[in-house]
Amino acid sequence: FAEEIMKGNPTTLVVASDDLFQAVRIQRMMSNFKTIRVFTSDDPVGVQLGGALKNPLAVGAGMVAGMGFGTNTLSAVVVRASHELRQLAAAMGGNPRTIDGLAGIGDLMLTCFSSQSRNQRCGQRLMKGETVEDIQKE
Protein backbone atom coordinates (compact mmCIF):
# COMPACT_ATOMS: atom_id res chain seq x y z
CA PHE A 1 0.00 0.00 0.00
CA ALA A 2 1.16 3.53 -0.72
CA GLU A 3 1.36 4.46 2.97
CA GLU A 4 3.83 1.64 3.61
CA ILE A 5 5.93 2.61 0.60
CA MET A 6 6.07 6.20 1.86
CA LYS A 7 7.30 4.90 5.23
CA GLY A 8 10.16 3.17 3.44
CA ASN A 9 8.91 -0.36 4.01
CA PRO A 10 10.32 -2.85 1.49
CA THR A 11 7.99 -3.77 -1.35
CA THR A 12 7.99 -5.35 -4.77
CA LEU A 13 6.34 -4.63 -8.09
CA VAL A 14 6.15 -6.09 -11.57
CA VAL A 15 6.87 -4.32 -14.85
CA ALA A 16 5.30 -6.19 -17.77
CA SER A 17 5.77 -5.77 -21.49
CA ASP A 18 5.59 -7.87 -24.63
CA ASP A 19 9.07 -6.48 -25.22
CA LEU A 20 11.10 -7.87 -22.33
CA PHE A 21 13.99 -5.55 -23.23
CA GLN A 22 11.77 -2.55 -22.43
CA ALA A 23 10.60 -4.13 -19.17
CA VAL A 24 14.21 -4.69 -18.10
CA ARG A 25 15.01 -1.10 -19.08
CA ILE A 26 12.27 0.17 -16.73
CA GLN A 27 13.43 -2.26 -14.06
CA ARG A 28 16.94 -0.84 -14.20
CA MET A 29 15.66 2.74 -14.07
CA MET A 30 13.77 1.93 -10.88
CA SER A 31 16.55 -0.11 -9.29
CA ASN A 32 17.90 3.00 -7.56
CA PHE A 33 15.08 2.80 -5.01
CA LYS A 34 16.47 1.04 -1.96
CA THR A 35 13.19 -0.36 -0.69
CA ILE A 36 11.51 -1.35 -3.98
CA ARG A 37 12.43 -4.55 -5.78
CA VAL A 38 11.27 -4.54 -9.39
CA PHE A 39 10.59 -7.78 -11.23
CA THR A 40 9.92 -8.15 -14.94
CA SER A 41 7.38 -10.13 -16.90
CA ASP A 42 6.75 -10.72 -20.57
CA ASP A 43 3.06 -11.37 -19.82
CA PRO A 44 1.19 -8.05 -19.74
CA VAL A 45 -2.16 -9.84 -20.07
CA GLY A 46 -1.60 -11.93 -16.94
CA VAL A 47 -0.21 -8.97 -14.97
CA GLN A 48 -3.13 -6.75 -15.98
CA LEU A 49 -5.71 -9.41 -15.12
CA GLY A 50 -4.12 -10.08 -11.74
CA GLY A 51 -3.92 -6.38 -10.96
CA ALA A 52 -7.47 -5.59 -12.04
CA LEU A 53 -9.41 -8.62 -10.88
CA LYS A 54 -7.99 -8.65 -7.38
CA ASN A 55 -10.30 -5.71 -6.65
CA PRO A 56 -13.73 -7.37 -7.00
CA LEU A 57 -12.29 -10.52 -5.43
CA ALA A 58 -11.22 -8.44 -2.43
CA VAL A 59 -14.74 -7.04 -2.14
CA GLY A 60 -15.91 -10.65 -1.95
CA ALA A 61 -13.27 -11.38 0.68
CA GLY A 62 -14.54 -8.44 2.70
CA MET A 63 -18.05 -9.80 2.40
CA VAL A 64 -16.84 -13.14 3.76
CA ALA A 65 -15.27 -11.33 6.73
CA GLY A 66 -18.37 -9.16 7.11
CA MET A 67 -20.51 -12.27 7.44
CA GLY A 68 -18.40 -13.25 10.43
CA PHE A 69 -16.47 -16.08 8.83
CA GLY A 70 -12.87 -16.58 9.86
CA THR A 71 -9.52 -16.97 8.21
CA ASN A 72 -10.16 -20.59 7.15
CA THR A 73 -13.13 -19.56 5.01
CA LEU A 74 -11.35 -16.50 3.69
CA SER A 75 -8.32 -18.60 2.73
CA ALA A 76 -10.56 -21.04 0.85
CA VAL A 77 -12.13 -18.15 -1.08
CA VAL A 78 -8.74 -16.71 -1.98
CA VAL A 79 -7.38 -20.09 -3.13
CA ARG A 80 -10.42 -20.67 -5.35
CA ALA A 81 -10.18 -17.11 -6.67
CA SER A 82 -6.56 -17.66 -7.64
CA HIS A 83 -7.53 -20.84 -9.48
CA GLU A 84 -10.20 -18.97 -11.43
CA LEU A 85 -7.74 -16.16 -12.20
CA ARG A 86 -5.33 -18.71 -13.68
CA GLN A 87 -8.09 -20.15 -15.87
CA LEU A 88 -9.13 -16.70 -17.04
CA ALA A 89 -5.55 -15.68 -17.79
CA ALA A 90 -5.12 -18.77 -19.97
CA ALA A 91 -8.42 -18.17 -21.75
CA MET A 92 -7.46 -14.56 -22.52
CA GLY A 93 -4.02 -15.37 -23.89
CA GLY A 94 -2.02 -14.79 -20.74
CA ASN A 95 0.28 -17.16 -18.92
CA PRO A 96 -1.56 -18.79 -15.99
CA ARG A 97 1.76 -19.06 -14.11
CA THR A 98 1.85 -15.27 -13.91
CA ILE A 99 -1.06 -15.49 -11.48
CA ASP A 100 1.14 -17.56 -9.16
CA GLY A 101 3.46 -14.59 -8.66
CA LEU A 102 3.42 -11.05 -7.33
CA ALA A 103 0.93 -9.69 -9.84
CA GLY A 104 -1.57 -12.42 -9.03
CA ILE A 105 -1.33 -14.17 -5.67
CA GLY A 106 0.76 -11.36 -4.20
CA ASP A 107 -1.78 -8.67 -5.03
CA LEU A 108 -4.69 -10.95 -4.16
CA MET A 109 -3.32 -11.76 -0.69
CA LEU A 110 -2.49 -8.15 0.04
CA THR A 111 -5.88 -6.88 -1.05
CA CYS A 112 -7.99 -9.66 0.47
CA PHE A 113 -6.33 -9.96 3.88
CA SER A 114 -5.42 -6.38 4.77
CA SER A 115 -7.64 -3.95 6.62
CA GLN A 116 -5.87 -1.22 4.61
CA SER A 117 -7.63 -2.49 1.47
CA ARG A 118 -10.49 -0.22 0.44
CA ASN A 119 -12.02 -3.11 -1.51
CA GLN A 120 -11.91 -5.44 1.46
CA ARG A 121 -13.46 -2.77 3.69
CA CYS A 122 -16.11 -2.14 1.03
CA GLY A 123 -17.19 -5.78 1.17
CA GLN A 124 -17.39 -5.67 4.96
CA ARG A 125 -19.46 -2.49 4.86
CA LEU A 126 -21.81 -3.96 2.27
CA MET A 127 -22.49 -6.84 4.63
CA LYS A 128 -23.37 -4.32 7.35
CA GLY A 129 -26.10 -2.96 5.07
CA GLU A 130 -24.39 0.12 3.65
CA THR A 131 -24.98 0.94 0.02
CA VAL A 132 -22.29 1.20 -2.64
CA GLU A 133 -23.28 4.84 -3.12
CA ASP A 134 -22.67 5.65 0.57
CA ILE A 135 -19.36 3.80 0.56
CA GLN A 136 -18.20 5.64 -2.56
CA LYS A 137 -18.87 9.02 -0.96
CA GLU A 138 -16.02 8.50 1.49
Per-residue pLDDT tens digits for 38-73 = 999 999 999 999 999 999 999 999 999 999 999 999
Q: 118-127 and 44-66 are packed helices; what angle lies between their axes, rounded to 10 degrees?
A: 30
Low-confidence stretches of the chain (pLDDT < 70) are none
Question: Catalytic one among 7, 34, 54, 128?
Answer: 54
- In 3D, which of 112, 86, 87, 111 has the Cα closest to residue 101? 86
How many angstroms separate the CA atoms of 1 and 4, rounded? Answer: 6
pLDDT value of position 108: 92
pLDDT value of position 2: 84
Q: What are phi and psi of 53, to 5 degrees?
A: -80, -10
Active site residue 128: no
13, with CB counted inside 10 A (0-12, 13-18, 19+), is: middle
pLDDT value of position 87: 96
pLDDT value of position 75: 95
How many angstroms separate the CA atoms of 84 and 13, rounded? Answer: 22
Mean pLDDT of the chain: 93
Structural Rg of the chain based on CA atoms: 16
pLDDT value of position 52: 94
pLDDT value of position 78: 93
